[in-house]
Homo-oligomer: A and B are copies of this chain.
C-alpha cells in the first residue's frame, strides 16, 4: 500500500485519529487494525488512508472520504463498532478524533 494516499482534488474530508496505545493485546490489535483498513477501503466514499505509529506508542491514522455521510456510515458499520468498543476497553489509553474538510493540498516527489 502506498503510504501517501492518492486523494482527488479538494474539497474532500479527512478523519484524523491520534492515539496512545496501552500496549495490551498487541496481536489482537494488529489483526484488527489490518482488518479495519481492509474494511474501510471497501466502503462507499473511501478515498485513501495514511497511518503510522512510533516506538513511543503514539499513532496517527488519517482516512480520507468523499463526504460527511460516508464518514458517518463507516463509523456506524457493525464490525467497526465492535472494534471501537475493544479499542476503548483494551487497546487505547487515550485518543482524539477530528473530522475535517480538506480545503487544499500539495504534493512533493524528489527527482529520482
Q: A102-B99, A107-B96, A108-B95 are in contact. Are A16 and B18 (CB under 8 A)?
A: no
A89 → B minimal CB distance (Å): 8
0/1 interface trace, chain A 33-47, chain B, CB 8 Å (1 if under): 000000000000000
The answer to whether B110 touches A103, judged by C-beta atoms less than 8 angstroms apart, is no
> Complex formed: what's the CA distance from A88 to B68 in Å?
34
Judged by a CB distance under 8 angstroms, whether A81 is at the interface is no
Copy number of this protein in the oligomer? 2
User: Which chain A residues in 3-58 approach chain B with CB under 8 Å?
Assistant: 3-5, 7, 10, 14, 16, 18, 20, 22, 50-56, 58
Judged by a CB distance under 8 angstroms, whether A80 is at the interface is no
0/1 interface trace, chain A 83-112, chain B, CB 8 Å (1 if under): 000001000111111111111111111100
A67 → B minimal CB distance (Å): 12
A91 → B minimal CB distance (Å): 10
